[in-house]
Amino acid sequence: MASTAPHDGAVIERLIEVSFRVSGLLTRIAAANDVSLTQLRLLAMLRETRPRMAVLADRLGLDRSTISGLIDRAVTRGLVERVGNPDDARVVHVALTDAGRQLADLLHHEMAGAVAEITGRLGGAERADLLYLLDRMLDDLAHP
């Protein structure tokens, strides 16, 4: 088993710290808008796509019964709707309602502003480097 070099430990610690701080920002934004962090994540995902419930469960790291309850609560609030698949009655997609789209857009704007405060002091080249590294990390997470 390879040992972790001290600089690797520092990278890991800083990444964890940034993750915790960003999570804290998002939690505060969610609470200020009367949604949970998981609901915030759900609405953010639905801004770009109309996934199947199974895909949402996987992306949110939730089991199927938990995602069903999450969607039920969002349907009750008028934020999302279940959409049947005309080609396969067993498949259910989830989509934002107009009210859900408004809230998702508001949350996105607030999240972007909060994160911009963190990255605002970085120069253009630093932001480009950060984007490149984040993309590489996300790619690695998508293809373990």
- Domain residue limits, the chain: 17-142
The matching CATH number, chosen from 1.10.10.10, 3.40.50.620, 3.40.190.10, 3.40.50.300, for 17-142 is 1.10.10.10
- pLDDT tens figures, 79-108: 999 998 888 888 889 999 999 999 999 999
pLDDT score at 136:
92
pLDDT score at 3:
54
pTM: 0.84
- Distances from the Cα of 82 to the Cα of 43, 50, 73, 85, 93, angstroms: 14, 10, 12, 10, 6
pLDDT score at 88:
82
Average pLDDT, the chain: 90
Torsion of Cα atoms, 22 then 7 then 142 then 16, to 10°: -20
